[in-house]
Structure 1
Amino acid sequence: MIVFNEDGCIKCGACEGTCPTSAIDVTPNAIIHCDTCGEEPKCADACPQGALKVEMFEIAEGIEQARLVFNSVLCDQCGKCEEVCPQETLKVTGEKLKEVEGFCVMCQKCVDICPVDVIGIPGVVEPAEYELDLKGKGPVYIKDCVGCGTCVEPCPVNAITLDEVGSPVTVSDDCIRCGLCSQTCPWNAIYIAEKVPVKRTKEIESFTFDSAKCIGCNTCVEACPGDFISANSATLTVAIPSVCAACGLCVKLCPVDALEINVEWGEGAPVDAEGIGRDVEKCDFIGACANKCPTEAIRVVTKTGMLCPALEEVGGEPSFTSCIRCGACASMCSNDALKVEQYELTIDGESVTRDRISFNPSKCDQCGDCIEACPYDMLHKSDNPKLPIAGFCTLCGQCMEACPEDALCYK
């Protein structure tokens, strides 16, 4: 049985791409794969024609494991295997000689190709263990950055700099903790506000190699963090993979531009994409939401230049700023007075969970670290002993109730 240690998975999709029977599906949230139902495959039991069968296979000396074998001649495409598959990897394709796909044949190609060795076979090849402790790492944590620079372009505020390809990136104080860099990083090297990100989807549209340009320097072979590229000493060229992490480090370092990669990226999900949304067209900058918020997590400058909730005359253009629950404050709080918690909401009849900020005033020593970490300058000290620190959003919804224009909603 193939097993995955998802904690260390970089979601590169190499295992999915190399699987000859399409038995692996790498999603931003999980790895879905045929696990042969604990060596008692339900698909084989359900197949009335015996097209899918269980076979004991010697995977190593003295070690046998169950695998699935498929006989195309016997398959009548009834779909019973697809119906009973608990992982939903089995699919009836209708293609000749490949009428069914999604079952594991224990070929071990996924084990061999994994660049971080998190795929294994119990008793034969144990998957690598990864202990990721983000506690105390702060709002921005960079770990083992390979310097590919993939995170630079997605940053909406140009806060990430790559001084030299192959050297770690740096993140400036302009960072707004949106998390897009972390979602994009092919090697799990950057974390925002102590959160493990949901990765963006990606697809390699093309990855080409011009052998006529190649000078056999093997720079790409040595640079590839996942050992995807191999040298061909007989021809002084290299062999590029059909699937990889798509970081493009090899392309950037190739001295003769012999490599080219084109990657189609899926949409990212900035931290403010979920929680409380504002309809800009409806918002009239009245300030009722800011005045109602019990934690002063909204700041509005009205059309008359009044700052709410402070009720001070500041002038300037109307504006709306709010806590986006990025968690930067919680990542800096050494006393756990501020925490990021999961909160259950009902949106359009569907139950969903969203991040909220919780605060325990009895643990707060007003050190101010959270205030410095807040990228939107929302956090501030308060004279209220029950709320010594204010400016964080708890998703209580009182702002929505107060808005006379219905400009705010859960999203």
Structure 2
Amino acid sequence: MIIINDDGCIKCGACEGTCPTSAIELTPTTIIHCDTCGGEPKCADVCPNGALKVEDYEIAEGIEQARLVFNSILCDSCGKCEEVCPQETIVVTEEKLKEVKGFCVMCQKCVDICPVDVIGIPGVVEPKEYDLDLSGKGPVYIADCVGCGTCVEPCPVGAISLDEYGTPITVDDDKCIRCGLCSQTCPWNAIFISEKKPVKREKEIKSFNFAASKCIGCNTCIEACPGDFIKPNSGDLTVQIPEVCAACSLCVNLCPVDALEIDVEWGEGAPVDAEGIGRDVEKCDFIGACANKCPTEAIRVVTKTGMCCPSLEETGGDPSFASCIRCGACASVCSNNALNIGSIEVTIDGEPVLRDRIEFNPSKCDACGDCISACPYDMLHKTDNPKLPIAGFCTLCGQCIEACPADALCYK
């Protein structure tokens, strides 16, 4: 049985790409794979023709594992195996000789290719354990950065810089808005924002080319590849590039003769403000009712007359809207756990969904101000209210939505 430690997975897709029977499916949040139902696969039990059978396979000396064997001649594509598969990996394709896919044959190719060794077989190769406890790490945490630079371009505010490929990135804390796009993009789980484990962006390698005529046999790409995906060719000085890898492009950027070329198509990222309170800019008339209604002063509006709400101070500025987007930077630096990231169920298009919110316990707050300094949106501030010594954080209570006369606000 194949097991995967999802906590340490970098979602590179190498296991999915190498599986000969498509028994592994990668999603941005998890990995779905055939686990042979713990040694008693249901697909084989229901197959009326014996096209899928269980076979005891000696995977190591003295250690046997159950694996599935498929006989195309006996398969009539009835679909019963697909119906009972608890992991939903089995699919009836009706393709000649491959009428069924999604079952594990215990070939171990996924175990061999995993660059971070989180795929294993009980009693044979134990998956590597990763400690992803991010508490106390602060709003921006970088660990074991390989210097591929993949996160630099997605940063919407240019807060990330890379002096030289192969050296760690640096993040300008004053520029960083804690949106999380860098951590969603990083191929190697080297950067985390506001102590959150990111949902990785989807990606697809459209092409990965190697020009053997340019290669000088320096092995720079082999040595640079953090996942050991690139192998030397025996008998000459060239290399073998993989069909699937983490797509960090470090080998391409370090090759001294430009012998490597990669084209990666990235899926959309999900910045922290993509969920929570949405505002229709065209509907907003900058009255400020939302800011005046917010119980935690998490919205700041400058009206068309230059009045700032909720402080009711004359600014003379242009109309504007700003709000807490619940990035969690404040919670990540609060040493007393007065601020935390929680969740609340809201209704969107008639369906209940969970959304992050900021939770505050005033009894634990000592008004140290660390959260105010950490807030990248300048929303947090001290008050004279002992029941709310710190204000400016969004609890996603929805009172702003109810107060808006133009229906410009909604849950998203």
Which band: TM-score by shorter chain?
over 0.9
In 2, Cα distance between the equivalents of 1:318 and 1:260?
48
Can you list the C-alpha shifts for 1:206-233, whole angstroms capped at 9, x where unaligned? 0000000000000000000000001124
Question: Unpaired segments of 5 or more residues in structure 2?
Answer: none
How many angstroms apart in 1 are the aligned matches of 2:238 and 2:65? 39
Give distance in 1, aligned partners of 2:303 and 2:165.
46
Q: Does residue 40 of the first structure (1) align with residue 45 of the second (2)?
A: no
Q: Give the TM-score, by structure 2 length.
A: 0.99
* Rounded Cα–Cα distance in structure 2 between residues aligned with 1:409 and 1:331: 27
In the alignment, the residues of structure 2 paired with residue 148 and residue 200 of structure 1 have an alpha-carbon distance, to the nearest angstrom, of 16
After TM superposition, the structure 1 = structure 2 runs for residues 207-286 of structure 1, keeping only pairs within 5 Å, are 207-286=208-287
Distance 1:94 1:41 in 2: 21
1:132 aligns with 2:146: no
Cα deviation, 1:138-197, whole Å, max 9, x if unaligned, reads 100001000000000000001100111111101102000000000000000000000000
Q: Secondary structure at the match of 2:198?
A: coil
What residue identity is the alignment partner of 2:88? E
SS in 2 for 1:370: helix
Q: Name the structure 2 match of 1:66.
A: 66
* Residue 369 (structure 1) aligns with: 370
**CA distance in structure 2 between the partners assigned to 1:168 and 1:127 by the alignment:** 27
CA distance in 2, matches of 1:396, 1:342: 11
User: Per the alignment, in what secondary structure is the counterpart of residue 366 of structure 2?
Assistant: coil
Kindly report which structure 2 residues correspond to 1:15-164, keeping only aligned pairs within 5 A, or say none: 15-164=15-164
Q: Which residue of 2 aligns with 1:389?
A: 390
Amino acid at match of 2:54: V
Give me the whole-angstrom Cα distance separating, in 1, the residues matched to 2:99 and 2:132.
Answer: 41
Q: 2:85 and 2:409 mapped to 1: Cα distance?
A: 43
- Rounded to whole Å, the distance in 2 between the matches of 1:207 and 1:269 is 26
- The reply to whether residue 8 of structure 1 matches residue 12 of structure 2 is no
- The alpha-carbon deviation at position 135 of structure 1 amounts to 0.8
After TM superposition, the structure 1 = structure 2 runs for residues 132-211 of structure 1, keeping only pairs within 5 Å, are 132-172=132-172, 173-211=174-212
Residues 11-30 of structure 1 show CA distances to partners (whole Å, capped at 9, x for unaligned) of 00000000000000010011
Partners of 1:199 and 1:162 lie apart in 2 by 21
- Cα deviation, 1:333-365, whole Å, max 9, x if unaligned, reads 000000000111121121111000000000001
The aligned amino acid for 1:376 is: Y
CA distance in 1, matches of 2:48, 2:379: 64
1:307 aligns to what SS in structure 2? strand
Instruction: Give the Cα–Cα distance (whole angstroms) in 2 for the partners of residues 276 and 342 of structure 1.
Output: 14
User: Quick one: which amino acid aligns to residue 202 of structure 1?
Assistant: K
Matched letter for residue 207 of structure 1: F
Q: Deviations over 1:386-408 (max 9, x none)?
A: 00000000000000111000000
* Whole-angstrom CA distance in 2 between matches of 1:309 and 1:342: 26
Question: What is the CA–CA distance in structure 1 between the aligned matches of 2:401 and 2:346, rounded to whole Å?
Answer: 14
The separation in 1 between residues aligned to 2:257 and 2:291, in whole angstroms, is 57
Could you tell me how far apart the structure 2 residues matched to 1:26 and 1:389 are?
Answer: 42
Q: Percent identity?
A: 83
Report the CA distance between 1:241 and its aligned residue: 0.4
| SS of equivalent to 1:150 | coil
Aligned to 1:302: 303
SS of alignment partner, residue 12 of structure 1: coil
How does 1:311-326 map onto structure 2 within 5 Å?
A: 311-326=312-327
Cα deviation, 1:305-359, whole Å, max 9, x if unaligned, reads 0000000000121100000000000000000000000111121121111000000
CA distance in 2 between partners of 1:234 and 1:34 (Å): 38
Letter in 2 for 1:358: E
> 1 CA distance for matches of 2:283 and 2:347?
23
SS for the counterpart of 1:73 is helix
Amino acid aligned to 1:54: V
Secondary structure of the residue aligned to 1:345 is strand
2:355 matched residue in structure 1: 354
Structure 1's unaligned 5+ residue stretches are none
Aligned residues: 411
Looking at structure 2, the residues matched to 251 and 284 of structure 1 have their Cα atoms a distance apart, in angstroms, of 50
> Aligned partners of 1:73 and 1:174: how far apart in 2?
62
**CA distance in structure 2 between the partners assigned to 1:120 and 1:334 by the alignment:** 38
Q: Which residue of 2 aligns with 1:341?
A: 342
Structure 1 residue ranges (4+ consecutive) displaced by more than 4 angstroms after TM superposition: none
Amino acid at match of 2:284: C
Give the 3-state SS of the residue equivalent to 1:17 in structure 2: helix
* Residue identity in the other structure for 1:178: C
- Structure-1-length-normalised TM-score: 0.99
